[in-house]
Amino acid sequence: MAEAFAGRALLIAALARRLPAAGHVVVGAISPLPAAAALLAERRARGALRVTILGSARHYRFSDGGVELFDAAGRGRIDVFFLSGGQIDGQANINLVGTGTYPNATTRFPGSFGSAYLYYVVPKVILFREEHSLRVLVPKVDFVSAPGTSPPGVWRPGGPSALVTGKAAFAFDRARARFRLESVHPGETVESIIAATGFDFDRPARVAATPVATADEIAAIQGPVRAALAPTYPEFAAALAPAGAAAEA
């Protein structure tokens, strides 16, 4: 349990550090990890960072559902959004539809919803996926729900900036359409990341280690962040509780 919490805390902290000190961060549905990261960053920002979490009664800032969300994104009123995928490839294309040949998919994912639109217009999109494996990080996605880059001449103010997984953190170079390994998490090496990744990526001569969560970050995650997250994600919040403590209902 302690090891599982340490891994989750590291991911939450790593995502939070990629968020700005001011602006508007929106987290989609069924996204407890980035939701926790956004709430952690919100505490640091002391009121300068606004957080909207889809599905949250307390942290949902829109009154007209997805219509208002997409309108805000199109008007440039969302600075950061998180996206994931059943598959992610080296060009930062994501697949939220399924594996196999469309429309006869052999495996079905939740669906694209507004991912393609938000990927185009939100300036900073952070990709995340706790599982880091050859079945997730593939050479080429089976279906492009949202493309990581666009052809020359296509007006696109938004796009991917980073990918954080359960093993490593990458930055994305939009001009070159390639990921660059930034850091490896504790217990991992460059070689283990290469073995678990289906696409090629750039890397410096010396790759940094991803910083573990600090004592202050852990205290916030197990305390106010967990309490704020509990109404929306009770099971996830319970897993963040200190040993011997019960999660808030």
Residue 247 binned pLDDT confidence (cut-offs 50, 70, 90): very low
Report in angstroms the alpha-carbon separations of 90 from 68, 139, 203, 234. Answer: 32, 6, 13, 34
Residue 249 binned pLDDT confidence (cut-offs 50, 70, 90): very low
In a domain, 248, yes or no: no
Q: Is the separation of the CB atoms in 199 and 89 below 8 Å?
A: yes
Residue 24 binned pLDDT confidence (cut-offs 50, 70, 90): very high
Rg, the chain, Cα only: 18
Model pLDDT for residues 8-19, shown as the tens digit of each residue: 999 999 999 999
In a domain, 247, yes or no: no
Average pLDDT of 116-132? Answer: 97
Q: Is the separation of the CB atoms in 106 and 114 below 8 Å?
A: no
Beta strands of the chain (E only): which ranges? 23-27, 49-53, 80-83, 87-89, 94-95, 98-101, 104-108, 124-129, 137-138, 160-165, 168-173, 178-184, 208-209
In a domain, 249, yes or no: no
Model pLDDT for residues 54-88, shown as the tens digit of each residue: 989 899 888 877 789 999 999 999 999 999 999 99
Q: Considering all CA atoms of the chain, what is the largest pairwise distance in Å, rounded to the nearest integer?
A: 57
Residues of the chain with pLDDT > 90, as a percent, come to 87
In a domain, 32, yes or no: yes
DSSP, collapsed to helix, strand or coil, labels residue 43 as helix
Pairing of strands 87-89, 137-138: parallel
Average pLDDT of 208-217? Answer: 97
Torsion angle defined by CA atoms of residues 155, 161, 164 and 170, in that order, rounded to the nearest 10 degrees: 120
Domain count, the chain: 1
Residue from 150, 14, 136 nearest 82 by CA: 14
The span from the CA of 177 to the CA of 187, in Å, is 28
In a domain, 56, yes or no: yes
Average pLDDT of 200-225? Answer: 97
Q: Look at residue 243 and tell me whether its pLDDT is greater than 90.
A: no
Phi, psi of 203 (to 5 degrees): -160, 145
In a domain, 245, yes or no: no
Token readout for 208 is 């940094």
User: How high is the pLDDT of residue 4?
Assistant: 87
What CATH number does the domain containing 147 carry? 3.40.1080.10
Domain containing residue 121: 2-239
Mean pLDDT of the chain: 94
In a domain, 158, yes or no: yes
User: How high is the pLDDT of residue 209?
Assistant: 98
The span from the CA of 136 to the CA of 198, in Å, is 8
Token readout for 31 is 């996204």
User: How high is the pLDDT of residue 61?
Assistant: 81
User: How high is the pLDDT of residue 47?
Assistant: 86
Q: Long-range contacts made by residues 147-155, C-beta under 8 angstroms, separation at least 24?
A: 147/91, 147/93, 147/116, 147/119, 148/89, 148/91, 148/92, 148/93, 148/94, 148/119, 148/172, 148/174, 148/177, 149/91, 149/92, 149/174, 149/177, 150/120
